Amino acid sequence: MYIPKQFKKEETSDIIQFIRANSFGVLFSQHDGVPTATYLPFILSTEENGSITLLSHMAKANPQWKTLDSNVALAVFNGPHAYISASWYEEENTVSTWNYVSAHAQGKVEVIHDSHTLLHILKEATDFYEKGFERPWRLEDNLETVESMLNGIVGLRIRVENLQGKWKLNQHHSTERKERVIQQLKKQAQYDSKEIARLMELDMKPNKQE
């Protein structure tokens, strides 16, 4: 991902937090010489040594998995985004742009077929997405149904080798310009304008915390 220095998110912990909050991503790879993409939920885990792993699963009917094993793939996670009109700067010699937050995770893929590991991946995903629900659906209470469907999926484990975060929030503009943009974003209803305004405000604080 092309990341000018001022937009690069340096803190790995912030990128990890962002991916967990925006975990429905897109897996890109080359399949038979053609760029291929699949939308998937990913569960991110970290180890004490700092290594990062992404877990997911894919339908066997999807041919992309057949060329994934032991090859490098790219998982892309998109966050809030909003259009920025040059008119909001109230200055000459400015142009419109787009503000957004995104993360890329690149690594070698392991395709998983054994039922024990597949059940582990599905339980991790289920527990992650069901937490906080009043009546969470539990995999262990529906084991017979889940096991009957295991032959229709493959598991994916990506050991992340390169993690990038891009927070494009008008960092290269003056404080006055950014404040004008924030005020205009708060008036907008389309895209994720209000959330981008919040992130811009947060980025302008001396001690940023997300």
Integer Rg of the chain from CA: 20
Which amino acid, 57? H
- Which ranges constitute the DSSP H helices of 134-207? 143-147, 175-185, 193-204
170 within 8 A of 99, measured Cβ to Cβ: yes
Give the β-pairing of 43-46 and 52-59.
antiparallel
Q: What's the whole-number mean pLDDT along residues 153-160?
A: 98
pLDDT in tens, 6-15: 999 999 999 9
Which amino acid, 53? T
- The yes-or-no verdict on residue 27 having pLDDT over 90 is yes
Element (H, E) at 190: none
Q: Using CA atoms, how far apart are residues 118 and 116, in angstroms rounded to an integer? A: 5
Number of residues assigned to the chain: 210
Strand partners, 35: 30
pLDDT of residue 71: 96
pLDDT of residue 208: 57
pLDDT-derived band of residue 210, with 50, 70 and 90 as boundaries? low
Percent of the chain with pLDDT over 70: 98
- 5-204: which CATH number, 3.50.50.60, 3.30.70.260, 1.20.81.30, 2.30.110.10? 2.30.110.10
Q: Is 174 helix (H, G, I), strand (E, B) or coil?
A: coil
pLDDT in tens, 94-143: 999 999 999 999 999 999 999 999 999 999 999 999 999 999 999 999 99
Q: What's the whole-number mean pLDDT along residues 147-172?
A: 97
pLDDT of residue 206: 72
Q: In what order do the strands lie in the sheet with 72-84?
A: 34-41, 24-31, 72-84, 97-112, 153-168, 52-59, 43-46
Q: Using CA atoms, how far apart are residues 55 and 46, in angstroms rounded to an integer? A: 11
Instruction: Identify the weakest region by mean pLDDT among 82-96, 150-164, 195-209.
Output: 195-209
- The yes-or-no verdict on residue 209 having pLDDT over 70 is no
Q: Using CA atoms, how far apart are residues 57 and 42, in angstroms rounded to an integer? A: 8
